[in-house]
Amino acid sequence: MDWSVFFRENLEPVQAYQPGLREEQIRQIAEVDTIYKLSSNESPWPPFPSALAALQEALVTLNEYPDGSAHQLTQLLSWHYDVPVEQIIVGNGSNELIDLIAQTCLKPGDNVVYGWPSFVVYRSSAQIAGAEYREVPLTADGSFDLNALLAAIDERTKIVAVCTPNNPTGGVISDAAFTEFLEKVPPQVLVIIDAAYEEFVDEAHAARPLAAFDGRRPYVVLRTFSKIYGLAGLRCGYGFAPAPLVEMVNKVREPFNVNTLAQVAAQACLEDDAELERRRVLNAEGRQRLQECFERLGLRYYPSQANFVWVEVADASATFDALLKKGIIVRPFPGACGLRVGVGDAQGVTATIAAFEELFGV
């Protein structure tokens, strides 16, 4: 049977997303009992206590469909960020929102411009829509090269995507450079800002993408509850976009795309500013400890503003395997001479530092 006759030809080069290894996958490899999964940029801490309480109350309603419009969550996001309800979209993670916008806006012959290495979904969403993708190298500090992005835009460019802090390098773009960039982007190009890790940023001069959102220009800001809020297992992302785009995306998205538990947990933790700040501080402390370790060992790394650090090593594959044996799961990237190392809790950071010191210490 020739199955290719059933499939769209443009799907052939698309690579299925490969998640990071899970703890149970390396039990036979690890030479230690305690394993730290630092490969998926997850929070090392459980959901906020307020979210857990809300989830417990919501369990008895699971015989009912979710709120298809995420009405209460959207209202709360509107109040929290002072953005009109009609300019807010909620999705099954910000990943889904990237895909939905691509499905809504792209057609064969269009192209998408973004920095690389970065989030692989920018590429796959373009491929699935039959559009071209253009990958622009990052700057020396691991952030998007905004001037190079502008140079890559042409009359066929429909979307330019910017990730700040960038995944996997953790680099951020400055507020001044970002303001200049937005002024130069042609008006027919939709700018998507992926700000999934923005809550971790403590750099004073870093761009704050939502501050530039006016609801009129073709400009979208995407965020998520998967990272600092610790709800990766429930999948809830949200975005701010002009109302006409929100209206069209709602025609494309699946009904009931955000489940009940995700909605109630997101509402609960969005109002818990004290816990948010506590986790931001804990992450910053762990991130600093990792960077100081790499500094001591003479390993080149990108100063990060996220919950991970990119570190360069001569043999990424061998280092990845050696770390697995020590119970440390990090993320390698094909063809890259480095590893993305997640920031764990205090014990996880200590174990990661000990493993790197064993491998690279003198």
Helices 93-105 and 121-128 pack at an angle, to 10 degrees, of 30
Residue 240, classified by CB atoms within 10 Å of its CB into exposed (0-12), middle (13-18) or buried (19+), is buried
Residue 4: which pLDDT band, with cuts at 50, 70 and 90?
A: confident
More confident residue, 28 or 84: 84
| pLDDT tens-digit series, residues 140-178 | 999 999 999 999 999 999 999 999 999 999 999 999 999
SS3 labels along 166-215: CCCCCCCCEHHHHHHHHHHCCCCCEEEEECCCHHHCCCCCECCHHHHCCC
From the list 144, 164, 169, the residue with the least C-alpha distance to 311 is 169
- Two tokens at 21? 């290894």
Residue 32: which pLDDT band, with cuts at 50, 70 and 90?
A: confident
| Residue 259, pLDDT score | 97
Query: If you average pLDDT over every residue of the chain, what do you get?
Result: 95
Answer yes or no: are the C-beta atoms of 89 and 62 closer than 8 Å: no
For the chain, the distance separating the N- and C-terminal CA atoms, rounded to the nearest angstrom, is 58
- What are phi and psi for residue 14, nearest 5 degrees? -70, 130
Report whether pLDDT(23) > 80.
no
| Residue 318, pLDDT score | 94
Answer yes or no: are the C-beta atoms of 91 and 239 closer than 8 Å: yes
User: Helix, strand, or coil here: 361?
Assistant: coil
| pLDDT tens-digit series, residues 177-204 | 999 999 999 999 999 999 999 999 999 9
Q: Nearest 5 degrees, angle CA 108-CA 235-CA 101?
A: 20
Report the percentage of the chain scoring pLDDT > 70: 99
Residue 3: which pLDDT band, with cuts at 50, 70 and 90?
A: confident
Q: How far apart are CA 121 and CA 277, in angstroms?
A: 29
| Residue 182, pLDDT score | 97
Of 175-179, 233-237, 330-334, 340-344, give the lowest mean pLDDT range: 330-334
Residue 26: which pLDDT band, with cuts at 50, 70 and 90?
A: confident
User: What is the set of domains in the chain, with CATH numbers?
Assistant: 21-46+274-360 (3.90.1150.10), 49-270 (3.40.640.10)
| Residue 342, pLDDT score | 98
- The arithmetic mean of pLDDT across residues 103-131, rounded, is 96
| pLDDT tens-digit series, residues 299-338 | 999 999 999 999 999 999 999 999 999 999 999 987 788 9
Q: Which residues contact 109 (CB under 8 A, 6 or more apart)?
A: 131, 132, 156
* Alpha helices for the chain (secondary structure H): 49-58, 71-81, 93-105, 121-128, 146-152, 175-184, 243-252, 260-270, 273-296, 316-325, 346-360
| Residue 285, pLDDT score | 98
Q: Which residues contact 244 (CB under 8 A, 6 or more apart)?
A: none
Q: How far apart are CA 341 and CA 323, in angstroms?
A: 11
DSSP assignment string, 127-170: HHTT-EEEEEE--TTSS--HHHHHHH--TTEEEEEEESS-TTT-
| Residue 7, pLDDT score | 85
| pLDDT tens-digit series, residues 248-265 | 999 999 999 999 999 999
| Residue 300, pLDDT score | 96
| Residue 76, pLDDT score | 97
- Two tokens at 5? 């006759």
Q: How far is CA 190 from the centre of its chain?
A: 19
* Alpha helices for 213-259 (secondary structure H): 243-252
| pLDDT tens-digit series, residues 199-223 | 999 999 999 999 999 999 999 999 9
Report whether pLDDT(298) > 80.
yes
